[in-house]
């Protein structure tokens, strides 16, 4: 069995942030990632506060996307509401974000191995798909929404009508670029919502959270998109740029609202493994980076045993933004009640955007 002082399972934003921070503190971690060229299902929204964190890790935000998002537009029940974001944000593909952050971790001195699949965790030992094992003094779990045997989140966190994530890419087009411009759009509908923003290559990322019952009524993801496009004209205009044969990526049973409130010495749960904020808040990547940085700092300061107390503290940091995001989500997904959000004063929308950010 191989051994390392710090093992990071997962090479997304949370894992790479932890790797960079650990190497800055002269602890050389081993990061393993199963997808060499992944592009995880994600809304792709990077908030102003998260941009600051990315810069602190040595990655220039302009290298992700020079175009800034400055406004949010909410469509609900035939109503439209637009407000300024507290500070400029960006839209970026997970492929580009993960690639640049992982490259920064490698430059900093982290040992990175891709194409490595961890099947389960027993104590602080990761069991690999090839039959090998890696033991660590500190284990950083950064597998996103993917659970590992031995550390799976509770099934009841999914709820009685679980949420699914769907993602499609809309082809670059001058009309679409002008329509979206510096804006991120939120389209609210019964039992779900969709966010749309331009990415670094000019395409638009459309990411949707929808309850399983709504998908079952439609029959398939493609049928659901067609149904929503017909019922909501502005969303239909965006979906017109969906090329025939474009894959629809999906992930099931997203446990929105779940937080890990207990800690285990030697185990740092990061990103979605620490807490899953409703995606309409646009703070999933913020939580990933904040957790990776904070967990690495705790480990460097107080060693592996710091994980237990750190996990409890971080759950406390997530409490307010997740509570606010959960309340807004319940209103947004309720039949007919979504229009209340579209009628909010622009200033209130800005306050909600601030309240759903995770502290530094």
Residue 139 belongs to domain with CATH number? 3.50.50.60
Q: Name every residue whose Cβ is closer than 8 Å to that of residue 78 and which is 6 or more positions away in sequence.
A: 339
Distance CA 355, CA 20 (A): 28
Confirm whether pTM is higher than 0.85: yes
pLDDT number for residue 339: 65
**How is residue 298 written in tokens?**
């705790």
Residue 61's pLDDT is what? 96
**Residue segments in the chain with a per-residue pLDDT below the cut of 50:** none
172 domain residue, yes or no: no
pLDDT of residue 338: 63
Percentage of residues of the chain with pLDDT beyond 70: 98
Is 175 a member of any domain? no
Which has the closest alpha carbon to 209: 257, 270, 170? 257
Structural domain includes residue 267: yes
DSSP letters, 270-334, are -GGGTB---GGG--HHHHHHHHHHHHHHHHHHH-TTHHHHHHHHHHHHHHHHHHHHHHHHHHHHS
Identify whether 186 is part of a domain.
no
**In the numeric block, which tokens belong to residue 34?**
């199963």
pLDDT at residue number 334? 75
Q: What is the largest CA-CA distance in the chain?
A: 60
Place of tokens 């306050």: 351
**248 lies in some domain:** no
Torsion of the alpha carbons at 134, 139, 144 and 149, rounded to the nearest 10: 60
- Domain membership of residue 181 (yes or no) is no
Q: Strands, DSSP E only, in 171-307?
A: 183-189, 192-198, 204-211, 249-254, 267-269
Cβ–Cβ under 8 Å, residues 27 and 4: no
The predicted pLDDT at position 248 comes to 94
Closest CA to 259 of 244, 274, 247, 245: 274
In a domain, 169, yes or no: no
Tokens of 316: 């406390």
Residues making up the chain, counted from first to last: 360
* Counted domains in the chain: 1
- The helix (H) or strand (E) run that includes residue 159 is none
* Average model confidence (pLDDT) across the chain: 93
The 10s digit of each residue's pLDDT in 93-120 is: 999 999 999 999 999 999 999 999 999 9
Task: Give residue for tokens 């982290």.
Answer: 110
Residue 230 belongs to a domain: no
Environment class of residue 39 by beta-carbon count within 10 Å: exposed (0-12), middle (13-18) or buried (19+)? Answer: middle
pLDDT of residue 337: 62
Structural contact between residues 334 and 192, judged by C-beta atoms closer than 8 angstroms:
no
Report how far residue 14's alpha carbon sits from residue 27's, in angstroms, rounded to the nearest whole number: 17
Q: In terms of residue numbers, what domain contains 280? A: 2-157+255-355
């Amino acid at each position: 069995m191989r051994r390392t002082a710090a093992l990071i399972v997962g090479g997304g934003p949370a894992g790479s942030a932890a790797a960079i921070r650990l190497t800055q503190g002269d602890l050389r971690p081993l990061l393993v990632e199963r997808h060499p060229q992944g592009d995880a299902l994600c809304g792709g929204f990077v908030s102003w506060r998260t941009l600051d964190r990315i810069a602190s890790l040595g990655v220039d935000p302009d290298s992700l996307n020079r175009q800034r998002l400055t406004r949010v537009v909410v469509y609900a029940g035939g109503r439209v509401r637009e407000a300024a974001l507290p500070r400029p944000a960006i839209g970026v593909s997970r492929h580009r974000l993960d690639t640049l952050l992982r490259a920064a971790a490698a430059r900093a001195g982290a040992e990175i191995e891709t194409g490595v699949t961890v099947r389960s965790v027993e104590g602080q030992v990761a069991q690999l798909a090839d039959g090998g094992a890696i033991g660590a003094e500190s284990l950083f779990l950064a597998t996103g929404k993917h659970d590992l045997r031995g550390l799976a989140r509770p099934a009841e966190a999914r709820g009685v009508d679980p949420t699914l994530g769907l993602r499609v890419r809309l082809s670059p087009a001058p009309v679409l670029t002008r329509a979206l411009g510096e804006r991120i759009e939120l389209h609210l509908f019964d039992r779900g919502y969709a966010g749309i923003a331009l990415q670094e290559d000019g395409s638009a990322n459309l990411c949707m959270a929808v309850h399983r019952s709504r998908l079952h009524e439609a029959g398939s993801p493609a049928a659901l998109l067609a149904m929503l496009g017909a019922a909501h004209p502005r969303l239909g205009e965006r979906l017109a740029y969906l090329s025939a044969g474009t894959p629809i990526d999906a992930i099931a049973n997203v446990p929105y609202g779940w937080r890990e409130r207990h800690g285990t010495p030697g185990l740092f749960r990061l990103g979605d493994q620490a807490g899953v904020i409703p995606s309409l808040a646009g703070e999933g990547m913020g939580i990933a980076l904040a957790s990776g940085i904070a967990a690495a700092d705790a480990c460097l300061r107080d060693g592996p045993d710091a994980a237990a107390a750190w996990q409890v503290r971080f759950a406390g940091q997530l409490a307010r933004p997740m509570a606010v995001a959960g309340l807004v989500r319940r209103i947004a997904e309720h039949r007919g009640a979504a229009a209340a959000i579209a009628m909010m004063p622009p200033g209130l929308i800005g306050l909600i955007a601030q309240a759903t950010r995770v502290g530094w």
